[in-house]
Amino acid sequence: MLGIIVILTLVLCSCLGQPVSQPQKSPDISSQEHQEGLVFIHMGSSLYSLPCNPREMKVAEATYEWVQDGAVSRSLSVTKEGRLLLQHFQADNSGKYSCTISYRKNGVPASQTFHYSILGYHVLGGLDIVLLFHSKLCKDEWTKSFLWSLQKQLRQLETEQHCKIQVNDTFCFPSLSNSSGDFIVQVQLEVSLFGPNWDQHCKPEDMETLTDCYRSAVRENLWQVQLALNRFFREHKIFPITGANIPSVNFTNDFVGILQSRQCTGGYGQTKQMQSCLDCCIVCPPGTFSPPKYSQCFPCPLGTYSLIYGAAFCTACKNGTVTRSLGASSMTDCIKKERTKHGVTPTHTIPGLVLFILSSLLTINLLFILSSCCWFLRECWVSDRKNCKDEDSEQLLQDPEADPDAEPTSDPSPLDTSASQPADEKHKHGAASLAVNPNLFTLTNETIPMLTLQD
């Protein structure tokens, strides 16, 4: 019973992830930890300043150390006052940050650590553009050259309008309205309004009205970018492409379609974590992803994982491995397939030392049970043999001249038990023996006379 209790205790402690006994460390009075919660920074913000201590504690000769995701990064910009400077914030700048203030209090070294979870976000707003070009060729190398020339000429417009323009997709198919063999090249562009210095009129110090300022900036930039794009394609109707051994090919613009988009950027979803802006798009954490034009963060499917913030797609496991569950956020979550056929093996939940102790205790309990059974059987056998010997001794005391191994004496008249011949003592004992055991007479072919009560 004691072994079973120990086994159950170890299994429960190992499944709960708690050690059986662990000495508690006394808290360090000179070191303090503070959890400051979530900090939201808009995507593409020109400059964001985060203090090490939100209460602006005044200490003399203090030193500051910022850490991102548990590791010191040289790319972090920190002022003398310990403020972290984040310029042109992007999705991959999200993460867990910690700042430690070290100083001396009454001559004793002391420190305080403040933990922040910084997440990127953006307000809704963007442009989707569809362009149609006529061309005599529909080959990949010429299409790539044309797209490179188009993006090169759009760089100047990006700088002027503080936006970002990128090519999403390209299609090439024969023209149905023209019998001369022309092709139509369809180009899809996505315009992000959060380019360099897009928020130059918004001051991040005023956090209460900052989101409203961002919304106003997006509405104004949408109008300005649309006007600039329409003007650009009116001025640039033809894009000539030249190459070796082939004459010049022209890509002539015939159609420009501009649509306003109110969907999240790839890697962002409407998780409603930001109470001051419930319709804003929050960056997807590791283990989740959000494809372009989707407004929700999804957990990574089985066999994939995501390491970074703001992933548009998850990374597939290699070498035929799969993940234990949905939402894997590390490459170590990829394991071999045979381990997941019937779920996770016990070695993933029970430590090896606990398994060794359990097997030892089970072996000891089994040996104890077997030895107890053997002892019990031996005691029973000894007790039965002793009882048999006692019965034989009692019979010998009652009939000391009887031979226990001798066969019973045959008598032609076994039924005549009432007669007694005291002259022959030995015959007397034989008759008494037959009278006690009436069933031992010998059966013959002759008919045995039945005796009545009168006889």
Best-predicted range by mean pLDDT (208-217, 396-405, 429-438): 208-217
- pLDDT value for 226: 94
Q: Which residues of 192-221 are buried (b: 16+ CB within 10 A; e: fewer)?
A: bbbbeebbeebebeeeeebbebbbebbeeb
Q: Predicted confidence band at 28 (pLDDT cuts at 50, 70, 90)?
A: very low
Query: What average pLDDT does the segment 364-372 reach?
Result: 82
pLDDT of residue 271: 87
Give the dihedral of Cα atoms 427, 431, 432, 433; nearest 10 deg. 100
The region of weakest confidence among 37-51, 157-171, 371-385 is: 371-385
186 closest CA partner among 132, 229, 134: 132
**What is the average pLDDT score of the chain?**
77
| Rg for the chain, CA atoms, rounded | 48
Please tell me which residue, 377 or 195, carries the higher pLDDT value: 195
Gap between the terminal Cα atoms of the chain: 71
> pLDDT by residue (tens digit) across 56-99?
677 778 899 999 987 777 778 999 888 999 999 999 999 999 99
Q: Which residues contact 108 (CB under 8 A, 6 or more apart)?
A: 30
* Predicted local confidence at residue 20, as pLDDT: 43
